[in-house]
A and B are shown apart, each in its own frame.
Chain A
Amino acid sequence: MKKILILSYLLWGSICFGQKSGTGINELTPEQKLHLGSQTGTIRVDGLSGANNGYNGGEAGMTYPVYVDANGDLTLEISATQNSDGYDPWTTTGINGTVTIPAGGPNDGYETVEILDIPLTLTRPVIVELKYSLSMEVFADPAFNVIKDAYARQITNFFTLNDPTLTSTVRRYGQSSKCYFNNNDAVTNPAAAPDAATGFIYNSGTTYISLPVGTHTLRFYGTVSSGFSDQNTHIKFAGGPDAIFVRIY
């Protein structure tokens, strides 16, 4: 009996610890910890099969990408780094969500606002996929009066990377713009009160950004332009449902 125990221990040992360099299956000289030497055989993991794993659709001819989690465990599960998934991620007051062209400012017809920052700390180089839909309403002033003049407004959103100050040469990512114009009854009844829809219109942008190791800040901006001269304008961002999607590759 003692002999049998010793033998079984040796046998168990050879499977658990393998040869010096690893365990081989159809492989006499394993070159990895586990080495499958067969020209056709592979590894079957029942826990990843269509019958057992919800992320495996089980359709004939289809395959499903495998990832490893923090422990190194194989998994089929995938989720975005950030996905609002239908819920509204932003409110106007929760972000820096308004921009106003006031009367009496520098007469350039242009104002900008830094809406929010997304800090990222990276331990490896990545590619960030970024998509957003931002709701906007267009008014003449912070009292939400409707615009009625002969000037079109252009509202633009974009991201910048790391530059704390926005200058004309800073690279912009995921730009999107909309125009707005209301001058109702200007011909038939110029004295008519302002009368038009004010929103929601959307800017939707998408971009990919390559980032090196380190600490980064993505800055989300909104700008509004009324042309060469200042025309009273007040933009309210994020008053309606919005969406953000971030995936890191």
Chain B
Amino acid sequence: MKKLIYFIFVLFLNTSFAQLGIGTVNPQQDLHVAGTTSTIRIESQNSINEPLLNDGAELAPIFVTPDGDLTVYPPGYNGGNLGDSEPLNFLISFENFIPNGPYGDGTVVENSELITDSTPHQLVSVPFSSPQTALIEVRYVLTLDLSDEFLPQPAASPFNDISARTIHTYFYIDLNNDGLDAIELSKVYGLHGEAYSSYSQGSVGYAFIHGVGYGGIPAGNHALVFFGETKDGTNRKTYVGFGGSSDNLKIRIYN
């Protein structure tokens, strides 16, 4: 009898660790619940035991904790405090990610009378860390300060030649934050472009632009590298200050 109990005990251990089928003798995963209408009921996550997150009327989404435990707790939820309600993972949220500079001109891209197309000019490189493989959503807002005379300086000079300029912003994702390689430079995100012209005076205040981009990244320490460039006519002067006022940047894990 002792042997028999021992044997049963070993068998139990075995079922704890080997593949287990419910409704199938041929499990295809470690736990395989077969049957065309089968599902799994976890009472600890029902509307009686989790009434705040599973209200009994709406379906509640399911998540896993860092341990791999199934739960109805959304990311960052710790008991119904303010800000807990959105199941969103933000990696970073920066106010003013481009320094304003002494005259509020941010990072200036020069396009003197000697050239018509500015070289792409790096505005800022923003390091960030992702703990996981992810599809990320990047949203940025920044300001443009336009002038037909050299920036940075205390006041911009309005255009008066009625000649159209175009202003273009975008960013690259520098994986591992080790400098942009050829593959990283071949992938352009957050595309935005504006055209501007004026005859005598006109607004030279801050104009807001925004862009959004979606990229697949591995876990690790990376950087977003923002660029700006301008185009104008022959012998025209265009100076654009990017991010001289209140700009912002958010990265969301888009799951």
Contact = CB atoms under 8 A, between A and B. Distances in A.
Given A62-B76, A186-B162, A243 B189 contact: yes
B74 A181 contact: no
Interface in B140-172: 161-166, 168, 170, 172
Given A41-B44, A43-B40, A85 B215 contact: yes
Interface in A171-202: 178-188, 195-202
Interface stretch (B58-66, B95-103, B244-252): B58-66
Nearest to B48: A39
B43 A33 contact: no
Interface in A197-246: 197-202, 204, 206, 240-243, 245
Contacts of A18: 22-23
Interface string A52-63: 111111111111
Interface string A121-146: 00000000001010110100000000
Interface string A63-104: 111100001010010111001011110000000000000000
Interface string B68-88: 111101111110000000010
A159 B28 CA distance: 44
Interface in B171-208: 172-173, 186-189, 191-195, 197, 199
A33 B161 contact: no
Interface string A18-59: 100011000100111111111111111111111011111111
A80 B22 contact: no
Contacts of A188: 161
A50 to B, nearest CB: 4
Nearest to B166: A197
A200 B162 contact: no
A8 interface: yes
A134 to B, nearest CB: 9
A86 B215 contact: yes
Interface residues of B, number: 91
Interface in B209-255: 211-216, 218-219, 230-234, 236, 253-255
A233 B50 CA distance: 62
Interface string B20-36: 11111100111101110
B255 A78 contact: yes
Contact of B49 (A15, A39, A200): A39
A80 B15 contact: no
Interface residues of A, number: 90
Contact of B197 (A27, A56, A85, A182): A182
A182 B163 contact: yes
A62 B44 contact: no
Contacts of A240: 191, 193
B135 A80 contact: yes
Contact of A184 (B133, B219, B233): B233
A7 interface: yes
B126 interface: no
A8 B4 CA distance: 9
A16 interface: yes
B134 interface: yes
Given A41-B44, A54-B132, A49 B77 contact: no
A11 interface: yes
A90 B74 CA distance: 38
Given A53-B68, A87-B186, A186-B162, 15 more contacts: A16-B25, A22-B22, A37-B43, A38-B43, A44-B70, A49-B67, A59-B131, A66-B61, A79-B216, A80-B135, A86-B189, A182-B197, A195-B234, A195-B236, A198-B164
28 contacts: A4-B7, A16-B20, A16-B21, A30-B41, A32-B41, A33-B38, A33-B40, A34-B38, A43-B70, A46-B68, A49-B67, A50-B132, A55-B255, A56-B66, A63-B65, A64-B64, A64-B75, A66-B64, A86-B213, A87-B187, A133-B191, A198-B164, A199-B166, A199-B231, A200-B168, A204-B192, A243-B191, A243-B214
Interface of B: 4, 7-8, 11, 15, 20-25, 28-31, 33-35, 38-45, 49, 61-71, 73-78, 87, 89, 116, 130-135, 161-166, 168, 170, 172-173, 186-189, 191-195, 197, 199, 211-216, 218-219, 230-234, 236, 253-255
Q: Which 8 A-B pairs have the closest CB atoms?
A: A86-B187, A49-B68, A57-B131, A63-B63, A195-B233, A197-B231, A33-B38, A184-B163
